[in-house]
Amino acid sequence: MRYIMIAILILTTAGPAMGLSDVFDDKIYDMGALKPTDSVLKVNAGDLAPEFTLPAISGKTVSLSDFRGQKNVIISFVPAAWTPVCSDQWPGYKIAAPLFDRYDAIVLGITVDNLPTLYAWTMQMGSLGFDVLSDFWPHGRTAAAYGVLRGDGLAERAIFIVDKSGMVRYAHVSDINQRPELGRIVEALGKIDQKQDAP
């Protein structure tokens, strides 16, 4: 429990960048400040989550339905590999893994980058502990289904939490320039946990 509280404290009080991208030295591409959001959300809490099947950097394919009846799923869309905020956000989920385990949840990370790019980027970050999926071709089809494909072809920085029945229980599009708050994710997972445990 102490470890979980420390993880919450670190991840909720850290600034926009935790310094994790320092391991990349000069390999990170700074896109500058972007328009905070540039899409129209198509999926909201209470909707059935759109199904997808995407290739993972592990070489397998992953479908959302693989987890039906087994796990709550945190879908994390990020805009692009090799960028500062994205390179901080996903390693933070490894630190938060005990929190996600507590709520029987797994993370699926999705970007519109191709597999070779995602592989090189995530190998630089080290093991993330979750599947990283490519929504590259047809370009951004999954992001578009959720309403988070931007006009420039990037995905929004968005979080969807899908419960074991396949229903979206949390949908949030963050300012693309900022890492989503872990506290909101944990709070949403707690609400799912309460309902699933109810008699």
Per DSSP, which regions of the chain are E strands? Answer: 53-55, 61-63, 72-77, 105-111, 131-134, 158-162, 168-173
Q: How far apart are CA 148 and CA 168, in angstroms?
A: 15
Closest CA to 38 of 178, 179, 156, 139: 156
- 86 is a catalytic site residue: yes
Residue (of 40, 39, 32, 41) closest to 150 by Cα position? 39
Catalytic residue among 49, 54, 86, 143: 86
List active site positions: 86
